[in-house]
A and B are shown apart, each in its own frame.
Chain A
Amino acid sequence: MEDLLAYLHFVVLPQFIDALIIGVALALVALGLTMIFGLLDVINLAHGELYMLGGYAAFTLLGWGAGYWSALVLVPVLVGLVGWTLEELGIRPLLPRADRAIVTLLLTFGVSLIFRDVAQVIWGTETRSVAAPLTGITNFAEVFVPTYRIFVFSAGLLAIAVTWWLVYRTQIGAVLRATAVDPSMVASFGIPIRLVYGFTFLYGCGLAGLAGVLLSPIYAVFPTMGHDFLVMAFAVVIVGGMGSIIGAVVAAILLAQVQGLASLWIPPVWAETLVYGVMLLVLVIRPAGLFNRLGEA
C-alpha cells in the first residue's frame, strides 16, 4: 500500500503536473484553431507556424536586449497582427467561394510551407534557445517543479480565463457567438463582418503566439516545432468539438494527460500515437466531438 502511494506521489504526480502544464499551453493553440473554425469555417493549417513564429519572435526580441516580460506582451500582439494580415489578404477573398473549405485549407497549407522556409532563411536551421526568466525549483507537495513551469501554467490559465470572459461576458463575445451562428444576420445589424473575422484571426493567432513565447524556454525553438504541435492541436480540436471553446480546453487537458500518463508505461512515441488513436475513435463514434460548436445549444 505504501509502495502504491509512493508510486502515485513520486512517479505519477510529477507526470500529471507536467502534462497539466503542457495541456494548458496546448489549449492556447487549440483555442485559436477552434475559434477560427467555429466562426469562419476555415481550417487554418498555418496555425502551427504562427506558434513557431511566437517562439522565434521571442528569441529575436530577447536577442535585441528586450526583457522576457516585454516579449511576453509584445509577441502575441505581433503574431496576432500577422494572423490578421493573413486573414485580410488570403482568407477573406476566398470566403465567398463555394468550395471555401477546401480552398482555404490548401491556401493555409501553402502559407505554412512558406512560413517554415522563411523561418529557416531568417533564423537558420539550428535549434535556438530562449532563456527562462524564472529560475529555480519550487517544492510543490514534495514534487519539484521548475518555477518557470508554474508560471507558464498560471499564465496559460489566465489567458484561458480571459478568453472565456471575452467570449461569454462581453459585447464582443456576443457578436462573435452570433456570427458563428448566422453571419448574414449579424451583418444586417450594421456590424462589419470583416472586422469580426479579422478580430477572430487576430485573437486566435495571438493566443498561438503566446503559447510560442511561453513554451520557448522549455522546448527551444526550431523550424518544425509548429508542425508537430499542430497535429496535436488538431487532435484536441477534433476531440473537443470543432468550434467549441470549452471543448478545446477540456480536450487539451485530457489529451495531454493521456499522453503524459501513458508514457509512464509505454514508450513516449507510442503514447503520442495513442492520442491520435483516440482522435480517430472520436471521429468515428462521435465526429462532432465532445462539446457543441460555439453558438449551438
Chain B
Amino acid sequence: MLQAHQQVQATDIQRRQSGTVAARLLRASRNSSSNSRLLRQIALVSLLLAAIFPLFGGSFFTRLAIEALLFGCIALSVDILLGYAGLLSLGQAAYFGLAAYVAALMYLHVTQSFWLVLLTASASVGVFSFLLGAVAIRAKGVYFALITFSVAEILSKITHNTRAIGGSDGLIGIPVPSIPLLPGLEIEFANNYVFYYLVLGTVCLLYLGTRRMLNTAFGSVLRAIRDNSDRVPYLGYNPFWYKLLAYVMAAQIAAFGGLIYPLLRGFVAPHLFGFEVSTKAVVMSLVGGVGTLIGPLMGSVIITFLESVVGSYTERHLILLGIIFIVFVVFLPDGLCGLAQRTFGAGRKVKP
C-alpha cells in the first residue's frame, strides 16, 4: 500500500518536475529580449505596414523606404553588437561603405553579374571584419568604440583622397543590373515596386535569421557578456570568439545594405563610411530600442523619413536630428519598443 503510494508520489513529482522544466524552458526562450511576445507582435505589425506602404506611398517615398531599409541594416548591425555583446561600434558604416564601393567598382569595371558582386563584397567584408574584429575586440571598453571609429574615418579619408576610385566626388553612373534568380526568371531593378519588395523580403529574412541566431546558446552567452563580461570566463566560455563571431555577423548585415545602395542611388561617395552614418545608425538603434532587433529597423524608417521631410522645408534638419537624439538619450533610453514594453507591462528591470 505504502509502496503504491510512494510510486504515485514519485510519478507525481516527476510530472511536476518535467512540467516545471518545460515551463521554464519556454520562459527561458520567450524572455530573451528579441523574442518576447510583444516584440513579435510589433515585428508583425511593422511587416504588414511595410507590405502595404508602396500602395499609397508613391514612387519617391517607396525609394525612400528602400533607403530606410538599407540604412536599417547598419542599425541592425549596431544593435547586434550593442544590445547583445555589449560592444559599442562607432564604425559599422565602414562595412556599409566597403560593400558599396566594392559593388560599385565591380559593376563599373568588372561584371554585371549580381551574384558575383554579392560574393565578392561579402567575402571582402568578411575578411576585413575578421581581421579588424580580432584586433579591436582585445581592447577594453571605450577603446573598442574608438578603434572602430578611427578605422571608419581612415577608410573615408582614403576613399576621399584617391582619385582612382572617385575621390571626394565618389563614383557615379552605376548601371543597374537585373538579377537572374532562376533560369528564365530575371528580376528587373528598374521597377521601384519590385525593388522594394525584394529588399523588404531580404531584410525580413535577415531580421528573422538574426533573431534565430541570437535565440540560441550562443545568443545567451552574448547577453551574459553584455551583462557582466568579467564573470563570463569563469563559466567556461572564452568571450573573445563569441564577440568575434557576433562582430563578423554584424558586419555582413551592414554590408548587405551597402551592397544594394549603389543600385538604388546610382552613386557611392566617401561619406558612406563616415562618422555620421555610423552614429546615425547608433541613434536609430536607440530610438527603436537597443536589443530588440526590430527597434533599429523601425528607428531607421523614422529617422530617414523625418530627415527627408524636414529636409524639404529647410536645410537645417540637423537641429531636429540633434533634438531627437537628446530627447531619446535622456528620456527614452529604452527606445520606442521599451516604451511599448512599459505601457503593456511586458518588460522587467532591475530595481535600483
Contact = CB atoms under 8 A, between A and B. Distances in A.
Interface stretch (B59-67, B145-153, B210-218, B340-348): B145-153
B240 to A, nearest CB: 15
Interface string A109-136: 1111110111011000000000000000
A280 B139 CA distance: 12
Nearest to A103: B329
Contacts, number: 97
Name A's interface SS.
helix
A8 to B, nearest CB: 28
Interface in A225-256: 231, 234-235, 238, 242
A99 B291 CA distance: 14
Nearest to A231: B153
Interface string A91-112: 0011001010111011101111
Interface string B174-193: 00000000000000000000
Contact of A114 (B143, B145, B275, B318): B318
A116 B157 contact: no
B333 interface: yes
A273 interface: yes
A112 B319 CA distance: 9
A284 B144 CA distance: 10
B11 to A, nearest CB: 47
Contacts of A103: 329, 333
B319 A117 contact: yes
Contacts of B326: 90, 107, 110-111, 114
A279 interface: yes
Interface in B6-38: none
Given A94-B330, A280-B147, A117 B157 contact: no
Interface string A59-98: 0000000000000000000000000000000100110010
B231 to A, nearest CB: 16
Interface stretch (B43-51, B248-256, B279-287): B279-287
Given A106-B286, A277-B154, A280-B147, A118 B330 contact: no
Interface string B119-148: 000000000000000010001111101110
Interface stretch (A23-31, A163-171, A201-209, A264-272): A264-272
A280 B151 contact: yes
Contacts of A234: 146
B321 interface: yes
Interface residues of B, number: 38
Contacts of A90: 326, 330
Nearest to A118: B319
A17 interface: no
A12 interface: no
A269 B161 CA distance: 6
Interface in B159-183: 160-161
B251 to A, nearest CB: 18
Nearest to B321: A113
Interface residues of A, number: 40
A43 interface: yes
A120 B146 CA distance: 29
A109 B322 CA distance: 8
A193 interface: no
A105 B326 CA distance: 11
A283 interface: yes
A16 interface: no
Interface string B307-346: 0000000011111011111100110010000000000000
A287 B145 CA distance: 12
Given A110-B326, A114-B322, A121-B316, A283 B150 contact: yes
> 10 tightest CB-CB pairs across the interface, nearest first?
A110-B325, A113-B322, A114-B322, A117-B318, A110-B322, A110-B326, A113-B318, A117-B319, A269-B161, A287-B143
Given A93-B330, A269-B157, 20 more contacts: A90-B326, A103-B333, A106-B282, A107-B329, A110-B325, A113-B318, A113-B321, A114-B326, A117-B318, A117-B319, A120-B316, A238-B146, A267-B161, A273-B161, A277-B154, A280-B151, A280-B154, A283-B147, A284-B135, A287-B140
15 contacts: A107-B326, A107-B330, A109-B325, A110-B323, A110-B326, A113-B322, A113-B325, A114-B318, A114-B319, A114-B323, A117-B317, A117-B322, A231-B275, A269-B160, A279-B150
Interface of B: 82, 88, 135, 139-143, 145-147, 150-151, 153-154, 157-158, 160-161, 275, 279, 282-283, 286, 315-319, 321-326, 329-330, 333
